Amino acid sequence: MSVAQELKCACPHCNGRIAYPASAGGSTISCPHCNNPVALAAPAAPPAAPAAPAGQASLKCVCRHCNGRISFPSNAAGATIPCPHCGKETVLNAPGVSPAPAAAAPRAAGSPPPPPSAAAPARAKTPTPPVPSQEELSEAPSKKKGGGGGKKVMMIVGIVLALALVAGGAVFFLKGRSGGGGMSILGPKEELQVVSFELQKNQGTSLVYVTGKVKNNTDIQHTSVRVDFKLFDAADKQIGNASDYIMILEPKQEWDFKALVVEPEVARVEVDKITSSK
């Protein structure tokens, strides 16, 4: 059995988030948060993002409403489209890519041409001090004190070492500042940890859930935290997935998750991954 497509909706009673496979669309279940009946919406064909022309690079961004991944051609950067996941309007943007500039308005006949922009003055390059050779360094101690040659060599060595330290510090600063804050997959015993989980049947119904706790082991707040599980049958073959997520998980706090399972033949479950946006 192939892994079912996952859909999401919000409970109309408690506004709790519910994730469910597309095969369950159109059915009514008890809300895993407040136990009130919730009608699961059937999947609809999502509007496709603009396709990239042949030979043109494709970019990616996330929906500002549901964090869903969207691929689009680079010439569509800055455009507003309906999100293919949640249907809400979102702006296509990507780091380091600017929207295409608007075409200049036609100049009226007889009007003088605009003055040319002044070219920015070229930045003067800082001359690199010469590096002393090994022969000069070995001869420096033998120079006479009154000659001044030894002092000059030592001054050059000091300048080179100072420039090397400054360059090393700049590289360290850039490395420390590089990187993005997009979606991150965290190990089960690192920043976010699945403390416990089990298969649990909801009393009075035939519904089954994966329940347990996720703990934020850091001193920072995590948003859009999601836990995913793999579902297996008695023959130990994967038959589907189950997941649940929470918008905010505070530092050092635990989250009681409850992921809906729609495959009745599930016999075993294991943690797949935990994701979040810091």
Residue 138: pLDDT over 70:
no
Among residues 212, 221, 263, the alpha carbon closest in space to that of 240 is found at 263
Q: Which amino acid is at 259?
A: A
What is the reported pLDDT for 172? 35
Tell me the C-alpha distance between 111 and 106, whole Å: 11
Spatial CA neighbour of 189 closest among 222, 214, 152: 214
Q: Which residues contact 275 (CB under 8 A, 6 or more apart)?
A: 183, 184, 185, 186, 224, 225, 226, 228
Query: What value does the CA radius of gyration of the chain take, rounded to a whole number of Å?
Result: 30
| Most confident listed range (61-70, 147-156, 176-185) | 61-70
**Contact predicate 1/239, CB 8 Å:** yes
Cα 254 from Cα 252, distance rounded (Å) = 7
Helix (H) or strand (E) holding 222: strand 222-232
**pLDDT for res 248:** 93
Checking if the pLDDT of 15 tops 80, the result is yes
Domain ranges (residues) in the chain: 6-39, 45-98, 184-277
Report residue 121's pLDDT band, with 50, 70 and 90 as the boundaries: low
Residues 247 and 255: beta-carbon distance below 8 Å: no
Q: Name the helix (H) or strand (E) containing 151.
A: helix 149-177
Q: Which residues contact 236 (CB under 8 A, 6 or more apart)?
A: 268
pLDDT at 9 > cutoff 70: yes
CA–CA dist 120, 41 (Å, integer): 58
Which segment, 87-101, 155-169, 257-271, is predicted with the most confidence on average?
A: 257-271
Taking alpha carbons only, the member of 21, 43, 42, 67 closest to residue 260 is 21
pLDDT at site 180: 32
Residues near 81 by beta carbon (within 8 Å), at least 6 away in sequence: 47, 49, 50, 70, 72, 89, 90, 92
Domain at 184-277: CATH architecture: Sandwich (2.60)
